[in-house]
Chains A and B, each alone.
Chain A
Amino acid sequence: MAAAAMAPKLSASSSTAKELTTHPIVTGSSVLAVKFAGGVMMASDTLASYGSMARFPDVQRLRQVSDGVIIGASGEMSDFDFAMRLLDELRVESECAEDGAELDAGEVHHYLTRVMYNRRNKFNPLWNQLVVAGTKDGKPVLGVVDQIGTAFEADFTATGFGKHMAVPQMREHWRADMTEGEARELLEGCMRVLFYRDCRTINRMQIAKVTATGSVVSPAYSLDTEWSLKSFKKEASPEDGSW
């Protein structure tokens, strides 16, 4: 694995043992995604951390598999690159058939689930939480799969720290008939809270959307922030101060 090659040798690994990704090294934090009327929208920051260090500030964690499918990844970034390469090989092979058939989001999600499960069974996982978005027969599809192959579909979802901080906001504000603008407002609101509270985030994010007519990933941009909020202020008393 690229990750294993990049990391310094740890005392536990013997020289004869096969190197496995038994723990993540260069990692991405939360990915957020919501369905809206006619499509799916996703958001993530562009940071790849090395432990607690904000090591790579310009990594695309939202990527297009094809016109109609996008993937967002949390976890080990080299494993994400590997998973994207598998999908690219699949796409090239499929294009050689020249039958016009393309994998839809449901099929990509299913394929990744099998890859993740098989790697788990070899105790050599791809250490990611992947969010797959697209459409199937005109309807939005939003799927999630993690490093052991746990897979499910949902109307909205978040990985990493977003599971703690974004999901409650999504539960409160999400509606099936949200417009695209409302979906973006919700995601940006969640990303802002994550930037305030998650230590593995920077204020540099991308959004991506998929509808029946195609997909687009935005260039990176920053959110307005407000640090004069009362709860951010450190008061003299430990009881009512900021946590």
Chain B
Amino acid sequence: MAFAAAAASSGGPAFFSSAGAAPMAADIGPAAATVVPKSVGIKEHRFEPYDFNGGTVLAIGGKDFVVVAVDTRLSEDYHILTRDVNRSVVLSPHCVLATGGCHTDVTTLHKVIDMRVKDYKHDHEVDIETHSVAQMLGNTLYGRRFFPYYAFNVLSGLDAEGKGAVYTYDAVGSFERVPYACQGAGQRLIIPYLDNVVGFKSRTDKPEGDLTPEAAVNIAKDAFITAAERQIRVGDSIRIFTIARGVAMKEARFAIRED
């Protein structure tokens, strides 16, 4: 197997050479071995097990559906590691978990939850109910109470009656069921918008009829477009899951700004 030459190639392999250089001193002596370079000091590299890799998750529950949206930008400091990361996991035909935070914890947590959900299915031969996943996720997070998963979860699905269910968590397992939720890097920009448009908080008018899945998807898109304008960790694209009663789960992609 050989390499194709680069268009502006350097003329192929040539070995490192010290030809023509002055001869080296025979021996520097043992004292040299004890010198520690300054840059190796402990201060410069303290081990940090956590990182914040961005990630924003949004979910809107309806009468017989739930819409989940999660962004795909993986960032670290001011770097974009990839524009196409997956921070969601489909746990059953009616349940999705999406998570922001420290990506190493996010991937591990998703593997653990997915494994436990599969175990449940093998044991009981039915898909686990969303409220059961919700409790199990809370317990799993609390299991790491003293070395937490730095992961901010929104669990969404249909409940036993087919209604949209959204559960929101903190990193150590506290959770509650809510009508809509947002977590992660863009949370502070998106929540006020959802309070206004979905929750109708502090408004004198009332919503005209029930929210539809299509309207919820549009709200999710608007929320992410808006957050991407002001929060550098939000961008690239979002994954949108629509889970509705009597219909197979749908997954769609929507591009948002890339800068």
- Contact surface of A with B, Cβ cutoff 8 Å: 7-8, 10, 12, 22-25, 46, 50-53, 57-58, 113, 116-117, 120-121, 123, 125, 144, 148-154, 157, 163, 167, 179-182, 184-185, 188-189, 202, 204, 207, 209, 213-216, 218-224
Contact = CB atoms under 8 A, between A and B. Distances in A.
B104 interface: yes
6 contacts: A149-B104, A152-B85, A157-B81, A181-B6, A222-B10, A222-B16
Nearest to A20: B47
Contacts of B7: 181-182, 185
Q: Top 5 closest A-B pairs, CB basis?
A: A51-B37, A221-B13, A149-B104, A185-B6, A23-B45
B82 interface: yes
B247 interface: no
Contact of B10 (A53, A144, A213, A224): A224
A135 B103 CA distance: 24
Contacts of B46: 22-23
Contacts of B1: 209, 213-216
Contacts of A167: 79
A167 B79 CA distance: 10
B13 A153 contact: no
A8 B34 contact: yes
Nearest to B106: A150
B39 A150 contact: no
Contact of A181 (B5, B49, B51): B5
B218 interface: no
A10 B49 contact: no
B42 A150 contact: no
Interface in B9-50: 9-16, 33-34, 36-40, 42, 44-50
A121 B148 CA distance: 11
A216 to B, nearest CB: 4
Contacts of B33: 8
Nearest to B80: A167
A163 B45 CA distance: 18
B76 interface: yes
Contacts of A218: 3, 13
Contacts of A204: 16
B37 A53 contact: yes
A207 B3 contact: yes
B15 A216 contact: no
Nearest to A147: B47
B4 interface: yes
B50 A148 contact: yes
A121 B82 contact: no
A66 to B, nearest CB: 14
Given A25-B40, A51-B37, A151 B104 contact: yes
A149 B10 contact: no
A52 B79 contact: no
A13 to B, nearest CB: 10
Contacts of A181: 4-7
B37 A22 contact: no
A215 B48 CA distance: 35
B82 to A, nearest CB: 5
Given A22-B47, A148-B104, A163-B79, A12 B42 contact: yes
B37 A52 contact: yes
A182 B108 CA distance: 37
Contact of B3 (A189, A209, A213, A222): A209
Nearest to A53: B37
B39 A113 contact: no
B130 interface: no
Contacts of B37: 50-53
Query: Which of the listed residues B34, B40, B53, B84 has the most CB atoms from chain A within 10 Å of its own CB?
Result: B40
A189 B102 CA distance: 33
A4 to B, nearest CB: 12
Given A50-B40, A151-B103, A220-B13, 12 more contacts: A10-B42, A23-B46, A144-B81, A150-B51, A150-B104, A152-B74, A153-B82, A182-B7, A189-B8, A207-B3, A221-B12, A221-B13
B187 interface: no
A23 B44 contact: yes
